[in-house]
Amino acid sequence: MKVCTDSCLFGAYVNPGFSEHIVDIGCGTGLLSLMLAQRFEARITAIELDKEASLEAAYNIHKSPWMDRIRLIQGDIRQSHILNCTGKTDTLICNPPFHEHQLTGKDSRRNTAHHTNTLSFEELAKVCCNLLTDQGQAYFLIPAYASVRFKNIFEANQLFISRQCLISNFLHTNPFRIILELRRSKQDIITDHLTIYEVPGTYTRRTLELLKPYYLYL
């Protein structure tokens, strides 16, 4: 599975602060867990349903300098024994499946990664409620078109948006992704904007600042 620029921006943007334990739901090949391990000293639990992706994540984690702080669990986060094994977290991160109500393809692994066949927003909200501490924060990267439905589902589970970052490809184009920070207490929403490109093929200064610690050739 390819690494997307918006996923890398998500990992660079998230700020767990002084969290002691971070949970990465649907870690894929381990990208977000590794990015956060590079910046923060927290313990990280990375959970992945797909066996092949988890094997690749295990390899990537083992080859990193942070393998002693990242625990990988291959399994379904909806199952009680996986939830119990994961434990409570100060910070939860997730780039959830996002092609809701669209046709699925023939590749079952891509369907799992990109469609809500295996983990719906409703199920994700319940998982978040079970794992997050009272003062904890949860970060999600979602498509802009799904933001209203996502907000309504999570508010019904007493999880409220505290910060949102609207991501656009260019200055005068509509946002296509949104980074959301949610907490258990309702508060005023801080809105941020991130434009990826100045012109096609040229990153904005802010994009460069976010990605430079992780990209070798910027």
Task: Count helices and strands (H / E) in the chain.
Answer: 8, 10
pLDDT value at residue 117: 52
Query: What is the DSSP pairing of strand 89-94 with strand 197-199?
Result: unpaired
Question: What number of other Cβ atoms are within 10 A of residue 63's Cβ?
Answer: 10
Give the bridge partners for 195, in sequence order.
168
Q: Which spans in the chain are helix H?
A: 5-13, 31-39, 51-62, 80-86, 108-114, 121-131, 147-156, 205-211
18 Cβ contact partners less than 8 Å away, ≥ 6 residues apart: none
Q: Rounded CA gap, 111 and 166, in Å?
A: 25
Q: Between 3.40.50.720, 3.40.50.150, 2.40.37.20, 3.30.1370.100, what CATH number should domain 5-211 receive? A: 3.40.50.150
> Which one-letter amino acid corresponds to residue 214?
Y
Q: Over its length of 218 residues, how does the chain's per-residue pLDDT go in tens digits?
A: 457 899 999 999 999 999 999 999 999 999 999 999 999 999 999 999 999 999 999 999 999 999 999 999 999 999 999 999 999 999 999 998 764 444 444 554 444 444 345 789 999 999 999 999 999 999 999 999 999 999 999 999 999 999 999 999 999 999 999 999 999 999 999 999 999 999 999 999 999 999 999 987 76
Nearest one of 182, 114, 129, 127 to 151, comparing CA atoms: 182
Domain spans, the chain? 5-211
Residue owning tokens 């002693």? 68
- Considering all CA atoms of the chain, what is the largest pairwise distance in Å, rounded to the nearest integer? 48
Residue 62 token pair: 């083992």
- pTM assigned to the model: 0.90
Nearest one of 150, 113, 154, 115 to 132, comparing CA atoms: 154
